Structure 1
Amino acid sequence: MSNWLKAMNPSTPITTEAEAARAARASAVSIIIGVIVGLVSLGWTLANPQIMQDAMAQAGGASLNEAQMQGAQQFALYTAGFMVLLQIIFGAIQWRRPGKFIAILFLVLLAYGIVSTVATPLLAGSMPNMPVIPIWQLALSLVIMIVQVVLHVTGLKGIKALDRIQMEQAR
């Protein structure tokens, strides 16, 4: 366990192939954290359907009839489920064969998530029908995304070290 915690630290020096592999898998751990957050969010929404109905109503759903509103809710739930499934696939790929592309892709997505989360309270007053998100939820989201960014950076460091070590061994 201590080897894994050490591997997740981006400032830890990487000297062996095993250390590099563990550090490279930090990116997959970050994706797994995203899967857990997605599953909790999806479960929370399914357990409390009123949350989605209120959000749709605040976002201008008053102009939609009941069938359109239910269709939009179903589409949102299926989309969220598909995104969790996609993250599971990317996480499995990243665990088995850590690669730079997936780590960088998720870093870009996390950067977008951080910017949009920080912008949410700023836009809340300027947009008339924007749903109100509790500040604790925004803060928790930011903390989780920052942890994920650190893990992806560690993963990229481990991938680079793993490539270097494998190239040296091939020579």
Structure 2
Amino acid sequence: MTDWIKASNPTAPITTEAEAIGATRASAVAIFLGVLWGIVGIFYLMTAGQALVDAAIAEATAQAPEAAGMAGMMAQGLLGLSIGLVVIQLIIGLVQWFKPNIVIPIIFAILVAFGLITGLMEAFDVAQPETAGAFASPVWLTWGGLAVMAVQLVLHIAGIRGARALDKLRMAAAQ
């Protein structure tokens, strides 16, 4: 357990290849955390969130009746897209675990930072349309997602540092 805490600390010194691999795998752990939170979101979407999606679609079709035929397709498409993104995220997490590199942590750090900013904007109703409150996620889902993304950002930063140190250590060993 202490090794994982050290590996996920973005300020810990990295001196060996094993420590670098552990730090790089912290990014994979962050991705797996996102997968678990995505499963929670999908479960919510399939249960209580379905009423929210139905209300949003009913509101959209009331404003544009020609969109009524697409309403059911949109709801299923949203669920399918959510499941597809979680599966892709799981595959990328496995790639990062077994073949650690620096590209995946950088991309995910950028995506998580963007998610944090937009999530905070949603939580504090910044630049939201006036109808957004009727279709907003529940508070526990919003703040839980923000907490998960904050942890993910720390782990991805540790992953970037670990991948950079791993490259340096392997380069030094090759010379």
| TM-score by shorter chain over 0.5 | yes
- Mapping of 1:10-49 within 5 angstroms? 10-48=10-48, 49=50
- Post-superposition shift, 1:97? 1.1
Alpha-carbon distance in structure 2 between the residues aligned to 1:119 and 1:18: 39
User: Which of residues 159, 162, 169 in structure 1 aligns to 2:166?
Assistant: 162
- Post-superposition shift, 1:153? 0.3
Structure 1 stretches lacking a partner, 5+ long: none
Sequence identity (%): 36
Structure 2 stretches lacking a partner, 5+ long: none
**Pair 1:153 & 2:162 matched:** no
Q: Secondary structure of 1:122's match?
A: coil
Contact 2:7–2:26 (CA under 8 A) maintained in structure 1: yes
Q: Give 1:107's aligned residue.
A: 109
Residues 21-45 of structure 1: CA deviation (Å, up to 9, x unaligned): 0001011111101110111110121
- Mapping of 1:1-171 within 5 angstroms? 1-48=1-48, 49-58=50-59, 60-62=60-62, 63=64, 64-65=67-68, 67-120=69-122, 121-123=124-126, 127-130=129-132, 131-171=135-175
Residue 157 of structure 1 aligns with an amino acid whose one-letter code is R
Q: Secondary structure of 2:14's match?
A: coil
Residue 162 of structure 2 aligns with an amino acid whose one-letter code is G
Residues 109-144 of structure 1: CA deviation (Å, up to 9, x unaligned): 1121111111113247x5132123344433222211
Alpha-carbon distance in structure 2 between the residues aligned to 1:112 and 1:157: 20
- Post-superposition shift, 1:68? 2.0
Contact 2:35–2:90 (CA under 8 A) maintained in structure 1: yes
Compare 49-58 and 4-13 and name the one that shifted more. Answer: 49-58
Alpha-carbon distance in structure 1 between the residues aligned to 2:119 and 2:61: 23
The Cα RMSD (Å) is 1.7
Alpha-carbon distance in structure 1 between the residues aligned to 2:158 and 2:90: 20
Q: Secondary structure of 2:15's match?
A: coil
Q: Secondary structure of 1:128's match?
A: coil
Q: How many residue pairs end up in the alignment?
A: 168
